[in-house]
Amino acid sequence: MKKTGMLNRDIASVLARMGHTDTLIIADCGLPIPDEIMTIDLSIKLGTPDFLSVLESVADDMTIEKMALAEEIKTSNLALHSKLKTDYAGIPTTYLSHENLKRETSNAKAVIRTGETTPFANVILKSGVIF
């Protein structure tokens, strides 16, 4: 049994298979996910687990080159946007419309679905390289 790092076997497996520029999405419980995209559904009930807890655990184990958020988070989820800008200030952030973010799910290595219920709590994480 693993002692440290990501304990969820499905997430650990995806992270181990990611290469430079591959993307992983952490999503709220409402984001539509195409059937053909690997989905790791962590949702237990509304709000559990929350988006930030999952992002923090993934970020501890993943080299993140860039992240993308929905433009709408700036006005519709100020608290989450502020927390992301503070906690992940060293990671370049881009914005795209929520519609385009939903389209990008079809290019992701996987989507991790949380129980998050606040608006626009979705992020596309672009994998960096460790050297």
> Is 2 part of any domain?
no
Q: Annotated binding residue at 77? A: no
Q: Annotated binding residue at 16? A: no
Could you list the active site residues? 20
Q: Annotated binding residue at 121? A: yes
Residue 45, pLDDT score = 97
Question: Which residues touch 75 (CB under 8 Å, ≥6 apart)?
Answer: none
Please list the ranges in the chain whose pLDDT falls under 50: none
pTM of the model: 0.96
Counted domains in the chain: 1
> Is 84 part of any domain?
yes
Identify the CA nearest to 52 among candidates 24, 21, 87: 87
> Is 12 part of any domain?
no
Residue 2, pLDDT score = 82
Residue 1, pLDDT score = 80
Residue 3, pLDDT score = 84
Q: Annotated binding residue at 28? A: yes
Residue 60, pLDDT score = 96
Provide the CATH number for the domain around residue 36: 3.40.1650.10
> Is 90 part of any domain?
yes
